[in-house]
Amino acid sequence: MTFSPQAITEAAVASFAQCDNPRLKQLMQSLVRHLHAFAQETQLTEAEWMAGIQFLTATGQKCDDVRQEFILLSDTLGLSMLLVAMHDGAQHGATEATVLGPFHTPDAPALANGSDLSNGAPGEPLYVSGRVLSAEGKPLSHAKIDIWQADAEGLYDVQRSELETQRRARGIIETDAQGCFAFWSVLPEAYPVPTDGPVGQMLLSSARHPWRPAHIHFLIESAGHQPLVTHIFREGDQYLDSDVVFGVRPSLVGQFAQHAAGTAPDGRQLSQPYWTMAYEFSMQAS
């Protein structure tokens, strides 16, 4: 083999020629081409590549059952949102999607429609209501809504060591026969993504801020429809235009209204001010 950059790239691409999975072959050959092009464009040194390997190793070592540092890396490089934009169903009338994020868990408690998800999470009371519809406007009954968010201190339950088996500001509810849903939680606040790991160090070393605007996560599933992964952001947040994971879409900014103490929409009596937010989600047929 001729010892030249072009020859090395061609040989590495050709090494996948016998792959019997066409899609895997395409992905691997394209990866090699782009990776080699990056190295040549930047004149990457061996020391810099070793630093990159150490960074990726540290990223993997930071992952555990409740923290996914590689998802955070994908998010902060804009790759997660790029994939969402490439495959979003919004052009068919569905609610726009955004990133899943690194704090979703598979063990959210199943609760009745209208329940209080906060479970002691610090923050001002928030009542969220709305409907889940098809893209054609048909109410979707028994749609499963998985909800999670950070509390007023900017922390998810899984970030609190004292809550290893307890879930706060997180739960799964189902829509009623008219596609309606409601739940209580706490008012979301802006928060920084974790900066105690390699991804956080990358952000700080690059003079990027680590902040996400206040939001609530939703993962909605309904038979015959594509799952919807999205957020509702709090209007007026200072980070709406500079979300560290590039996830804000104008259609996903909700109106959060503050109310004096008194009777809430569901009849609950509150002795302190509270907030409400209503939103309709539309889902694309599968």
DSSP string, 232-282: EEETT-TTTTS-TT----GGGEE--EEE-SEE-TTS-EESS-EEEEEEEEE
Structure tokens that stand for 204 in this block: 């700080």
Let me know: does 199 contact 219? Beta carbons within 8 Å. no
Digit-by-digit pLDDT tens for the chain (286 residues) are 568 999 999 999 999 999 999 999 999 999 999 999 999 999 999 999 999 999 999 999 999 887 899 999 999 999 999 999 998 867 678 999 999 998 999 999 999 999 999 999 999 999 999 999 999 999 999 999 999 999 999 999 988 877 666 899 999 999 999 999 999 999 999 999 999 999 999 999 999 999 999 999 999 999 999 999 999 999 999 999 999 999 999 999 999 999 999 999 999 999 999 999 999 999 999 8
* CA 166 remoteness from chain centre: 21
- Please, which residues have CB within 8 angstroms of residue 185's CB and are 6 or more apart in sequence? 116, 117, 118, 121, 123, 126, 128, 147, 149, 169, 216
Q: How far apart are CA 138 and CA 13, in angstroms?
A: 49
b or e along 250-275 (b: 16 or more beta carbons within 10 Å of the residue's beta carbon)?
eebbbebeeeeeeebeeeeeeeeebb
| Of residues 268, 284, 280, the one with CA closest to residue 115 | 268
| Of residues 68, 146, 63, 61, the one with CA closest to residue 102 | 68
Question: Which pLDDT score, from 0 to 100, does residue 2 have?
Answer: 65
Q: How far apart are CA 105 and CA 92, in angstroms?
A: 29
Run of H or E including 129: strand 125-134
Question: Which pLDDT score, from 0 to 100, does residue 172 have?
Answer: 98
Question: Which pLDDT score, from 0 to 100, does residue 211 have?
Answer: 98
Question: Which pLDDT score, from 0 to 100, does residue 164 have?
Answer: 61
How many other β-carbons are positioned within 10 Å of the β-carbon of residue 21? Answer: 10
Question: Which pLDDT score, from 0 to 100, does residue 27 have?
Answer: 98
Q: How far apart are CA 72 and CA 42, in angstroms?
A: 24
Q: How far apart are CA 76 and CA 80, in angstroms?
A: 8
Read off φ and ψ for residue 139, nearest 5 degrees.
Answer: -60, 140
Is residue 215 classed as helix, strand or coil in its secondary structure? strand
Question: Which pLDDT score, from 0 to 100, does residue 89 have?
Answer: 67
